[in-house]
């Protein structure tokens, strides 16, 4: 038999939260969120191992006992309309229980999401120890009204994403998550399969129709592309081997081509554009709201990078494509993790004499 002291949260954390992969400061943020939402850590962690019927029966019994007790108190205090008092108390308590059930379900979904995608080492050991009070205050209202499994999963993913990266979900972002219609949400999730950082790579996602662009821009997810479109500019840098390269920064991952390599098929394939001798990748740009919401969607960065590497190899067959990784976001420490050889290495020129 295991005896638990529910007041000893740190002990519960060590025993129960570790399987989620949540640790250090990120763990503190999650515990603070549970406390704010009034959840029970041990019950939330053990819920998947309990029989649903037993849980349902316990909730039902508790509801009945609480309603009867509160009704008796209320009837003693309200001596006017007994029938009205009873209906009012029952209705109020029922709404409280429903809200409590919704919040617990959202917390459960957040735990599932953190198990699937634990915070990175950098995320787990940095940032504030508690979530912003403004966020938790607003989030509590949304979680309390999440009556369907779909809504509970959506808000659970929001909470998990905020635990990983605090201050991602502003009031504006939360409002957009709440108000976005299902059709636009489906479209956004589809195009975000080709997202790298805050852009959708055009040669991967394809040309969005006028109607699709309007949907995403009016929802506040996409920056208006304009007549000429948008691009991700390359930067001319020198590698640690002294090679001049064109480099594209996608936050955690980066791609590079050897500078001045022969670029072919850039117009018809729309893989690369040139301006003043520098190659650029045509993209659609997400708004800050769009990027924040994309963080609760499945992460397809690896497959998107792989697809873009194939496109660049096709467009620049005489240059290898180099993949870099930034172990510490927002730093300048990039490491070459993979190089895709050139498809058609340049031939040495012969001299006629």
Statement to judge: residues 209 and 107 lie in one domain: no
How far is C-alpha 329 from the chain's CA centre? 16
Please check whether residue 351 lies inside any domain of the structure.
no
Give the rounded distance of the alpha carbon of 297 from its chain centre. 5
Coil, helix or strand for 323? Answer: strand
Q: Which of 156, 179, 202 marks a domain boundary? A: 179
Same domain, 109 and 195: no
pTM of this prediction?
0.74
C-alpha separations of 258 from 17, 129, 202, 205, 327 in Å: 47, 44, 22, 25, 23
Residue 232 belongs to some domain of the structure: yes
With residue 284 as reference, give the H or E element that holds it.
Answer: strand 278-285
Pick the closest to residue 17 from 50, 36, 49, 44 (CA basis): 44
Q: Please report whether residue 275 resides in a domain.
A: yes
Of the residues 179, 202, 219, the one at which a domain ends: 179
CB 141 within 8 A of CB 158: no
Whether residues 134 and 225 share a domain: the answer is no
Rounded to an integer, what distance in angstroms lies between the CA atom of residue 299 and that of residue 8?
A: 36
Give pLDDT tens digits along the chain (353 positions): 333 333 333 333 333 444 444 556 777 788 777 777 766 554 555 544 344 445 545 555 665 566 555 556 655 555 565 565 556 556 555 667 778 889 989 999 999 998 888 888 878 888 888 899 999 999 999 999 999 999 999 999 999 999 999 999 999 999 999 999 999 999 999 999 999 999 999 999 999 999 999 999 999 999 999 888 899 999 999 988 888 999 999 988 999 999 876 665 554 457 888 877 788 999 999 999 999 999 999 999 999 999 999 999 888 888 899 999 987 656 678 888 999 998 776 554 433 33
What does the H/E/C string look like for 18-30? HHHCCCHHHHHHH
Q: Which of 224, 211, 183, 197 is nearest to 294 (CA)?
A: 197
116 and 153 in contact (C-beta within 8 Å)?
Answer: no
Domain boundary among 158, 179, 200: 179
Same domain, 330 and 221: yes
Q: Is residue 2 part of a domain?
A: no
Residue 82's CB is within 10 A of a number of other CB atoms, namely 12
Same domain (yes/no): 197, 213: yes
Q: How many CB atoms lie under 10 A from the CB of residue 139?
A: 23
Helix axes of 24-37 and 82-116: crossing angle, nearest 10 degrees = 170
Q: Output the pLDDT for position 346.
A: 55
Claim to verify: residue 242 and residue 265 sit in the same structural domain = yes
Q: Which residues contact 78 (CB under 8 A, 6 or more apart)?
A: 84, 85
In a domain, 310, yes or no: yes
In a domain, 120, yes or no: yes
Does 130 map to a domain? yes
Query: Which residue segment(s) compose the domain that 127 sits in?
Result: 9-179
Tell me which residue of 342, 142, 143, 322 sits closest to 237, measured CA to CA. 322
Task: For 270-298, give one letter per residue: b (16+ CB within 10 A) or e.
Answer: bbbbeeeeebbbbbbbbbebbbbbbbbbe
- Our count of domains for the chain comes to 2
Q: Say if 350 falls within a structural domain.
A: no
In the block, tokens 């250090």 appear at 24
Does residue 268 share a domain with residue 222?
yes
The verdict on 215 and 168 lying in the same domain is: no
Same domain, 87 and 171: yes
Same domain, 20 and 169: yes
Distance in angstroms between the alpha carbons of the first and the last residue of the chain = 94
Same domain, yes or no: 148 and 223: no
The reply to whether 133 and 248 lie within a common domain is: no
Other CB atoms within 10 Å distance of the CB of residue 248: 23
């Amino acid at each position: 038999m295991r005896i638990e002291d529910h007041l000893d949260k740190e002990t519960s954390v060590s025993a129960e939260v570790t399987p989620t992969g949540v640790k250090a400061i990120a763990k503190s943020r999650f515990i603070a969120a549970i406390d704010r939402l009034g959840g029970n850590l041990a019950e939330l962690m053990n819920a998947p191992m309990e029989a649903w019927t037993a849980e349902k029966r316990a909730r039902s019994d508790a509801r009945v006992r609480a309603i009867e007790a509160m009704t008796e108190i209320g009837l003693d205090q309200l001596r006017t309309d007994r029938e009205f008092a009873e209906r009012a108390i029952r209705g109020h308590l029922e709404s409280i229980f429903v809200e409590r059930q919704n919040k617990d379900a959202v917390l459960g979904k957040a735990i599932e999401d953190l198990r699937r995608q634990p915070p990175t080492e950098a995320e787990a050991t940095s940032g504030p120890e508690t979530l912003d009070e403004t966020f938790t205050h607003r989030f509590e209202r949304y979680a309390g009204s999440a009556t369907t499994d779909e809504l509970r999963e959506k808000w659970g993913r929001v909470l998990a994403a905020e635990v990983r990266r605090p201050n991602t979900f502003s009031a504006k972002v939360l409002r957009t998550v709440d108000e976005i219609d299902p059709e636009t949400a489906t479209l956004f999730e589809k195009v975000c399969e080709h997202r790298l950082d805050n852009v959708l790579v055009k040669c991967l996602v394809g040309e969005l129709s006028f109607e699709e662009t309007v949907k995403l821009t009016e929802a506040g997810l996409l920056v208006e592309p304009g007549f000429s479109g948008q691009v991700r500019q390359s930067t001319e840098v020198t590698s640690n081997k002294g090679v001049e390269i064109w480099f594209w920064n996608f936050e955690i991952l980066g791609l590079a081509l050897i500078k001045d390599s022969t670029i072919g098929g850039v117009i018809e394939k729309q893989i690369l554009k040139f301006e003043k001798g520098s190659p650029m990748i045509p993209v659609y740009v997400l708004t800050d709201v769009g990027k924040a919401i994309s963080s609760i969607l499945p992460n397809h960065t690896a497959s998107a990078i792989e697809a873009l590497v194939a496109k660049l190899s096709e467009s620049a067959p005489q240059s290898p494509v180099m993949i870099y990784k930034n172990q510490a976001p927002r730093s300048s420490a990039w490491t070459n993790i993979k190089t895709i050889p050139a498809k058609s290495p340049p031939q040495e020129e012969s001299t006629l004499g």
